[in-house]
A and B are shown apart, each in its own frame.
Chain A
Amino acid sequence: MELISQGIVSGVLIGGLYALMSLGLSLSWGALKIINLAHFSFILLSAYLVYQMSVSYSLDPLLTALIVVPLFFVVGAAMQVFFHKVQVDEFKSLIITFGIFIILQSLIRTIWSADFRRIGSELNPYETQSIFVGRIALPVSQLIAFGAAVLIAVGMSLLLSRTYFGKAVRAVAQDRDMARAFGVDPRRVAVILSGLTTAFSALAGVFIAVGQTIFPGLAVGWFGVVFSVVILGGLGNTLGTLTAGVVVGVANGAASVTWGPLAAPLVTFLILIAALLFRPDGLLTKRSVA
């Protein structure tokens, strides 16, 4: 009983991180019609920057978020400006962003070598500390990541539904020209949104650096999980992405403790296929942006 509870709790918490990692791709695709594979490399690059700053200046890794997140907001905004200049459709965006992904990954490997990097435990107390509810452990780093994910998902959801900016985003996603006719500047909206989503990816990178040993090949391993979450969550649906992240995390965790770790990926992907067949617009179909 305790085992499965722990499995579920761990799954929920890591689901938050999965959601953070997936928000960038989901919102990009849903609202901006750009399949942005570069997000994977942004998460990785952010993790490396956190590692480097932590180690070089003996900083608390979570504090480095204050630098890294705004930095990547700018990067995301700039990238969107670039996309406006070249007017891409979804297919082209996939190719271009994959190119960017490869370039960034190679750069990371050139700068930091292919070897493993790890913020030591003196600088990074978060990875082994936990809050305990009975014998159920809630690791601190995952807890913070989960909290951040919830805040951001809820916040974005409110932003998209209640504010003028949010309405503008949805308008642009549905019909760009119409939106422009009603006084919305699609360019400005897209640039800000892109900045935001990239900032989220950077934040995910912070938690990756805190919770794991990093190496350049790590990013490719995320494709499976992130795409699963994006599909399950529905393109552009922030609350859906959060839910999907939790579902994937829990499915993984529960399957692992019940049938062994080998079964976990299979369960996840079967859920994914079922979702694609029966709820192709995502688990929570109501609030999608597109």
Chain B
Amino acid sequence: MTSRSRTLIGFAVVAVVLGFFPALQEALELPRFYVIFLFTVFFWIVQASSWNILTGFSGYFSFGQGAWFGIGVYTFAVLVGKHEWPLLAALPVAGLFACVAGLLLGVVVFRLRRLSGEIFALTTLAVAFVLAALARLMPAIDGGTGIFMTGTPIPEFLGEYTTAMYRMTLVIALLTVMAAYLIHDSRLGWGLFAIRDDEAVAGGLGVPVFRYKMTALATNAFFAGLMGGVWSLQLGFVTVDDVFNIRVPLFVILMSVLGGLRHWMGPVVGAVIITTLADRLNSAGLADVSQIIIGLLLVVLALAVREGVYLRMRDRWVTAGSVFFGVLVLTIIINLNSSLISDFAYAMVATTVAMLVPEGVWRRIRGGPSGDSKDSDTSPEERAEARL
């Protein structure tokens, strides 16, 4: 069996398991909140993964996730909230508008102006600001009054609100991660990585640099906007300040860095960990502390983890697996009353900690060749690439 078919089967399994979760939740009488929690995780998986397709793979740092998200939210909200479009018709339009906006930006910055990486980043930030200002200014879009999304009619076959949100976000998440995977393992992905390493050389090697960057950008924007549309329902009342702010753009960076920028699973892992942690800290009444912890996490991650938790996990999978399931089972047994989410949180933290142990120390623990020269820290990613 090829690695690709194995992965696709993996996707199918995940899809089925997750798809049946709401039914499972009802049957086992687990708290309904688990469904909401999961669809929040799906939201962040989509945002982080789509962002990473551009930034992680191609190296073009984007501050603009908020822009695509915002376009998606507002397109959907205007169509559905102001013009009473049916939900399922408006969703793809939301994604499409964001995609087109991304393409427009791409044409301007990639072709008309060969902008350096930093300037590209700043341009994406500026785009987000302009969009926010536009939305505020134009009553056709928002004009300051906000758009009410509560009470939006949901097609019957999707179920009631929570189930519908779950199904929509699950489908979009599966599509996004699948897209990230397919890109990662394709010529397009190879081309993007080449661009990241050295764009001039890549061009010289025959990589269609412009086309590939545009594809990455368009994919990024499309999924971000699509999920934005769905998320407008969860916001309930859409206002410029609640949509165009620093939250989405910054959290996707954090999640992707934690999980790993170089692999399509990285943002997924990062999104799951961060969302779970933030949720648990918040529910324990520690929201204040949770912000300080996120701050510390940012600092530590940037220093300690070069290639992200996911690749380390893959490399040390025996340890990761045993720590994770071990702690999980332990916490479930010790505290039968506690939320399953909390149990998962402990398991995740423990596993992440185990992954943070630096390579040098790690090898010594495993009893590998001792006296490892400190500089031969070839990361698992480098070794993986060397294998290719």
Contact = CB atoms under 8 A, between A and B. Distances in A.
Contact of A96 (B112, B136, B144, B303): B303
A228 B303 contact: no
A29 B118 CA distance: 10
Nearest to B127: A273
Given A99-B298, A106-B291, A110-B288, A269 B119 contact: no
The main secondary structure of chain A at its interface with chain B is helix
A265 B129 CA distance: 8
B299 A276 contact: no
Interface in A68-108: 86, 88, 90-92, 94-96, 98-103, 105-107
B115 A276 contact: yes
A113 to B, nearest CB: 12
Contact of A90 (B109, B118, B125, B257): B118
Interface string B297-318: 1110111000000000000000
Given A220-B246, A235-B118, A273-B127, A99 B299 contact: yes
Interface in A199-246: 220, 223-224, 227-228, 230-231, 235
A94 B132 CA distance: 23
B291 A102 contact: yes
B158 interface: no
Given A102-B294, A276-B126, A265 B246 contact: no
Given A91-B61, A99-B298, A277 B113 contact: yes
Contact of B299 (A91, A96, A230, A277): A96
A25 B63 CA distance: 16
A188 interface: no
A3 interface: no
Nearest to A262: B137
Q: Give the interface residue-count category, chain A.
A: 35 or more
A134 to B, nearest CB: 33
B133 A266 contact: yes
A89 to B, nearest CB: 10
A53 to B, nearest CB: 25
A271 B297 CA distance: 36
A1 interface: no
A86 B112 CA distance: 38
Given A95-B254, A103-B296, A269 B130 contact: yes
Given A106-B291, A227-B125, A98 B118 contact: no
Contacts of A29: 118
Residue from B116, B119, B298 having most chain A Cβ neighbours under 10 A: B298
Residue from B108, B112, B133 having most chain A Cβ neighbours under 10 A: B133
Interface string B215-252: 00000000000000000000000000000011000100
A254 to B, nearest CB: 16
B31 to A, nearest CB: 30
B295 A102 contact: yes
B292 interface: yes
A179 B134 CA distance: 46
Nearest to A273: B126
Contact of A231 (B122, B250, B253, B302): B122
A277 B105 CA distance: 11
A269 B129 contact: yes
B123 interface: yes
A91 B291 CA distance: 21
Contacts of A133: none
A263 B137 CA distance: 7
A106 B297 contact: no
B127 to A, nearest CB: 7
B125 A96 contact: no
A96 B298 contact: yes
A90 B301 CA distance: 15
Nearest to A281: B119
Nearest to A270: B130
A225 to B, nearest CB: 10
A262 B302 contact: no
A106 B129 contact: no
A272 interface: yes
A213 to B, nearest CB: 19
Given A96-B303, A269-B130, A270-B130, A102 B298 contact: yes
A139 interface: no
Contacts of A270: 130
Given A95-B254, A96-B302, A273-B123, A103 B118 contact: no
Nearest to B130: A269
19 contacts: A94-B253, A95-B253, A96-B303, A100-B299, A102-B294, A103-B295, A103-B296, A106-B291, A224-B129, A230-B122, A231-B119, A235-B118, A262-B144, A269-B126, A272-B129, A273-B127, A277-B109, A277-B113, A280-B115
Given A95-B299, A231-B122, 13 more contacts: A88-B302, A92-B302, A96-B298, A98-B295, A99-B294, A220-B245, A227-B122, A227-B125, A235-B118, A266-B133, A273-B123, A276-B113, A277-B113
- Sorted nearest first, the 5 A-B pairs with minimum C-beta distance are A99-B298, A102-B295, A103-B295, A99-B299, A266-B133
